[in-house]
Amino acid sequence: DIQMTQSPSSLSASVGDRVTITCRASQSISSYLNWYQQKPGKAPNLLIYAAFSLQSGVPSRFSGSGSGTDFTLTISSLQPEDFATYYCQQSYSTPRAFGQGTKLEIK
Amino acid sequence: EVQLVESGGGLVQPGGSLRLSCAASGFTVSGKYMTWVRQAPGKGLEWVSVIYSGGSTYYADSVKGRFTISRDNSKNTLYLQMNSLRAEDTAMYYCAREGYYDSTGYYDYWGQGTLVTVSS
């Protein structure tokens, strides 16, 4: 089974900051990598699919990059509504493993 | 409009059983890969099980042999039968639809979740 590892596990930042979250797969997954945002008490929400494709309705300040084993999610200018937990997930094979999550908090 | 509505969660004793339901609207369950994902209190997301459009099913090792995923096409509903429940199965359970683009799968719609608590 493929394992997904995110870093950091938590991150403090300020409104307007540029933030990058990293996700690493235990083996190559090509570009089969998705990113989700989850706010407390809510279901996850798809942000990025296929490593860099922005889901409809997601602000353009979110972007994804990477292929193979190393991926990044970047938020170019943090907004108050972006403080949440972010998860990567591979869709290369079953089981569709998630990363452990990165909690983005207000500094 | 696509909607997923879970039900069936609740408090159950260790060793007991529950059946979760996920009623879908706006699309046909049998035409999509449908997945259950769970989240223990304060923890991350854990993939649990999938049923493919062709009917094949797969499970996480942690639930294999205890949980069964199925669907009722006439009711357009996904199920998760959970037997021999353990304390570590306590979680919010979400159903999710897997969308596809250029062979890449992703969970584009999620239900609101149903809470399962396993405790004596």
Is A89 within 8 Å of B107 when comparing Cβ atoms?
yes
Contact status of A56 with chain B (Cβ, < 8 Å): no
Q: Is A103 helix (H, G, I), strand (E, B) or coil?
A: strand
Q: What's the confidence (pLDDT) of residue B29?
A: 97
pLDDT in tens, A3-52: 999 999 999 999 999 999 999 999 999 999 999 999 999 999 999 999 99
Q: What's the confidence (pLDDT) of residue B104?
A: 87
Contact status of A53 with chain B (Cβ, < 8 Å): yes
* pLDDT of A88 above 90: yes
| Mean residue pLDDT across chain A | 97
Q: Is B79 helix (H, G, I), strand (E, B) or coil?
A: strand
Q: Is A69 helix (H, G, I), strand (E, B) or coil?
A: coil
Q: Residue A55: closest CA among chain B residues belongs to which residue?
A: B108
Max CA distance (Å), chain A: 38
On whether the CB atoms of residues A74 and A19 are closer than 8 A, the answer is yes
DSSP structure class, residue A95: S
Compute the Cα dihedral for B106, A81, A75, A26 and give only its sign.
negative
The candidate with the shortest Cα–Cα distance to B23, out of B41, B38, B4, B37, is B4
Chain A residues whose beta carbon lies within 8 Å of the beta carbon of residue B113: 43
CB nearest B45 (choices: A55, A94, A98): A98
Q: What's the confidence (pLDDT) of residue A107?
A: 87
Is B105 within 8 Å of A91 when comparing Cβ atoms?
yes
> What is the DSSP track for B16-57?
--EEEEEEEESS-GGGSEEEEEEE-TTS-EEEEEEE-TTS-E
In angstroms, how far is the first alpha carbon of chain A from the final one? Answer: 36
Distance between CA atoms of B18 and B93, rounded to whole angstroms?
12
Distance between CA atoms of B26 and B92, rounded to whole angstroms?
24
pLDDT in tens, chain B (120 residues): 999 999 999 999 999 999 999 999 999 999 999 999 999 999 999 999 999 999 999 999 999 999 999 999 999 999 999 999 999 999 999 999 999 888 889 999 999 999 999 999
Is B47 within 8 Å of A97 when comparing Cβ atoms?
yes
